[in-house]
Structure 1
Amino acid sequence: MDRRTRILAALAALMVGAVLAAAVMLSIRYERSERQEAVLRATEDAVAAIRARMADTERRLGLLAAELQRSDAAQHFARMAHELLAEENALLRVEWRDDSGALLHGAGAPAPRPKLDSSLRGKLGFEAMLALRSAIEFDRPLYSRPYYVSFGDSSGFEVTELAVPVEGSANEALVAVYSMPLLIDGTLPASLLRSHQVYLTETDGTFVARSSVRLHGAGIYTASVPLELPGMSLQLRTNSAQGSPKLIPNLLTALLIAVTLGLLASGALLWRDSRLRARAERELRDQHAFRKAMEDSLFTGLRARDLDGRITYVNPAFCRMTGYTAEELVGRAPPMPYWLPDLVQDGRPRLDRMRGSDAMRLGYETEFVRRDGERFPVLIFEAPLIDERGRQTGWMGSILDVSEQRRVETLARVQQEKLQVNARMALLGEVASALSHELNQPLAAIASYATAGENLLAAGRPGESEDPAQPTRAGDGGSVGALRTALSRIRDQSERAGQVIRSVQAFMRRRHVDRAPIRFDALLASIEPLIQLQARRSACTLNWRADPDTIVLGDRTMLEQVMLNLTRNAIEAMEQSKADRRVLEVEARREPPGGGAVAVEVRDRGAGVAPEVAPQLFSAFVTTKPEGLGIGLSLCRSVIEAHGGRLRYLPREGGGAVFRFELPAAEARS
Structure 2
Amino acid sequence: MNMPANAPAASPSALKKLARRWQQWWRGLTPHRQDRFAALAPLVAVVLFLLAIATSFWYLRAEEIDREREALRRDVEYAQQRVRLRLLERQEQIMRIARDLSNHELQRSDFALRAENLISQYPELQSVTLIDARRNIRLSQAAPTVGSSQLRVAGEVLKSGAAATLFELTRDLGQPVYAQPPVGDDGAPPPLLQLMVPLSANGAFGGVVLAEYSVDSLLRYATPTEVLSRYAVTFVDSSHHVLAGTPLEPGLRERMPWDTWANAYEVAVSPVGNGLVLRAQAYRTSLGLVGNGLFWLVGVLSVMTVWLLVATWRHTRRRMRTQEALIVETNFRRAMENSVLTGMRALDLQGRITYVNAAFCQMTGWSEKELVGQTPPYVYWPESEYENLKAKLTEELSGKSVPGGFQVRVRRRNGSIFDARLYVSPLIDAHGQQTGWMTSMTDITEPNRIREQLSASHERFTIVLESLDASVSVAPLGSEELLFANRLYRQWFGSQTTGHLQMVAQGGVLRASTPRDDNDAALAALSTNRKGGAPSGNAEIYLPELDKWLEVRSRYLNWVDGRLAQMVIATDITQRRLAEEQAARQTERAQSVSRLITMGEMASSVAHELNQPLTAISNYCSGMISRIEKGQIAEDMLLAALHKTAHQAQRAGQIIQRIRAFVKRSEPNRQLARVESMVGEAVELAEIELRRHNVRLTHYVAARLPPVMADSILIEQVLINLMKNGAESIANAQRPPHQRAVELRVVPQQLNGQAGVEFVVQDTGRGLAPEVLAHLFEAFYSTKSEGMGMGLNLCRSIVESHQGRMHVQNLYNADEVVGCRFSFWLPLASPLPTAATSDPPPDPRITA
Same-fold call, TM > 0.5? no
Q: Which has the higher contact order (CA 8 A, sep 6+)?
A: 1
Given the two structures, how large is their TM-score scaled by the length of structure 2?
0.26
